[in-house]
Structure 1
């Protein structure tokens, strides 16, 4: 039997934002995630030696980004994409996640502030993620990086961008040492509103509501990202629909047991394995979507996130 919901997280759920799609607007979603980050300002962030705002090339111009690192020697480099349903989230809301990546993997981490919908709809965020990755790879000497040890990482919608960027890198001949996909969105066909598509992933019904991220909020997010529902079949937003996953970088895939995205994340891990890709999978028993951001409060969340980052560190250290 899977573990029950972590009791610490059970008490936190009522305090979390992004739970009412009937009244949510893009700006309110952004404001609520930023307010959650601001509420933790009294808790010192994990210490990192260098934190510097930079710019990287996006799909249609320069993008704000933030570089994190410890030390000054050659190190792995990770391009990180924040979550927030493509619509919300930014460099501030995911600052602690980026810092933990630096501390636990030893990598230089570059967090990218991609364009968001509804101002820029699909494929804008994907194009920014891939362009930023290409730009960072071209500038590795500037960042102290090692070309044989480059990875991509992201959570939720950022996990979706990391997965699709890894596909684009494979097709462009860019060798990645690894990809860290944290409770990623992998199949947007039907915009989370089509009963037949939803039935393929039982977690969309089992965890439809009550555990922070709801199926209805995912419908709201994907509706804002995709101007046309037909775009859901495009691998650049639904990597599970890619014609081939062969030849992709080794992956660490995490899901959360009490998350509507659980089964599509697990399905992607299995599809990668079936294509011959090395995969380390973490099921996140007892946890909810967003648990990588709850490690300060929940021992279970912190331990599971640390296990995933440790697996990712192995991939980065091994290189290509």
Structure 2
């Protein structure tokens, strides 16, 4: 079941609840909601993951965690069991290239998905998840691949330096550098520099909206749209969705979330208030003028409430923000369309939102009038 809430312009993660610190701007503390029934297809993936005997992230070193079985491994295991090919789907794609972009700490690995047809195409700069610590372009291949296929856009999937070897702000610095390079060199990839969006899953959703904030702060060209899939936005793990879904039954538990934040932000993660690390703490002024945004949440995700709260904060800042929650599924569901029907629905909804945004560049939006949104606008502003 899908619930959609749309707000128009101007009208609109520690260990126990007792130990967690509430942060300003964090989701409201309400009663713990009734648990959502797990979608039967989602349960198959959870069972497949359990069969791989994973160990909780927080019990491992980062090096060990990077080698452990992922949700993607579970999906592939299930696909093999069901007699499905695990070869990535190339339908509608002219090519998929692995290359690098220049970054502040060295070359940034990227994977570029180019649709069939004639360009220039709109562009999506996508950031994968993994709590800023684990995962890579292979782990998160299905999501950006589907967006390229369905939105008919060039999708540049960006890797980034990971913690704890490279703590904050290394990931956000790489993310911002990659966006700026792609935007300024879009034609090199048969892309349209005036139609460049940002997207990301989990920690990647954090990076996507941070990139938009960084662009606004530097008075540079904004993305035309933000797609934030179960974004990782807050260090408060005392929300109802954390209480209900954070016991480690759905890929990601509250202790794992604390482990991720500790690796990314250090021992002081519980009291960190930097909005470029924790976007839910951003002020209204910092959010005002950001691009139209779609936030996707999962009903069984500990992060559900922070995604909901961020949509609310964007609305309060005058940003056009839409929230879509998908019941019965968990964190990481978005890339599971090959085995989970709800994921296919979410991908289609995301692609539709991107296509609409690309078709309406310069129409509507929510930015301050003096914030340039394209290269041509930038020239006019000079």
TM-score, normalising length: structure 1: 0.91
The question of whether the paired residues in 1 share the 8 Å contact of 2:111 and 2:157 is answered with yes
1:14 aligns with 2:56: no
Match of 2:169 among 118, 123, 127: 123
Query: What count of residue pairs does the alignment treat as equivalent?
Result: 311
Structure 2 partner of 1:288: 330
Shift of 1:19: 5.3
Q: Cα–Cα, structure 1 residues 314 and 202, in superposed 2: closer, same or farther, change >3 Å?
A: same
Structure 2 partner of 1:276: 318
Over residues 216-273 of structure 1, what are the superposed CA-to-partner deviations in whole Å (9 max), with x where a residue is unaligned? Answer: 1111111111124257311111111112310001101011111110000110011111
Q: Which has the higher contact order (CA 8 A, sep 6+)?
A: 2
Measure, in 2, the Cα distance between the counterparts of 1:271 and 1:91: 30
Shift of 1:280: 1.8
Measure, in 2, the Cα distance between the counterparts of 1:72 and 1:87: 37
Over residues 148-189 of structure 1, what are the superposed CA-to-partner deviations in whole Å (9 max), with x where a residue is unaligned? Answer: 21101110011111111111112222121101000001112x
Measure, in 2, the Cα distance between the counterparts of 1:228 and 1:234: 14
Q: After TM superposition, list the pairs within 5 Å mapping 1:1-320 onto structure 2.
A: 4-16=37-49, 20-32=56-68, 33=70, 35=73, 39=77, 42-47=85-90, 48-70=93-115, 71-172=117-218, 173-188=220-235, 197-199=236-238, 201-209=239-247, 210-229=249-268, 232-243=272-283, 244-320=286-362
Shift of 1:102: 0.3
Secondary structure of the corresponding residue to residue 287 of structure 2? coil
Structure 2 partner of 1:193: none
Structure 1 partner of 2:23: none
Shift of 1:312: 2.2
The question of whether the paired residues in 1 share the 8 Å contact of 2:103 and 2:177 is answered with yes
Query: Where does structure 1 differ by over 6 angstroms across 4 or more consecutive aligned residues?
Result: none
The question of whether the paired residues in 2 share the 8 Å contact of 1:2 and 1:286 is answered with no
Measure, in 2, the Cα distance between the counterparts of 1:3 and 1:221: 25
The question of whether the paired residues in 2 share the 8 Å contact of 1:68 and 1:110 is answered with yes
Over residues 104-128 of structure 1, what are the superposed CA-to-partner deviations in whole Å (9 max), with x where a residue is unaligned? Answer: 1111111111011111111100110
Secondary structure of the corresponding residue to residue 158 of structure 1? helix
The question of whether the paired residues in 1 share the 8 Å contact of 2:75 and 2:336 is answered with no
Structure 2 partner of 1:192: none
Specify the structure having the higher radius of gyration (Cα).
2
Structure 1 residues without counterparts, runs of 5 or longer: 189-196
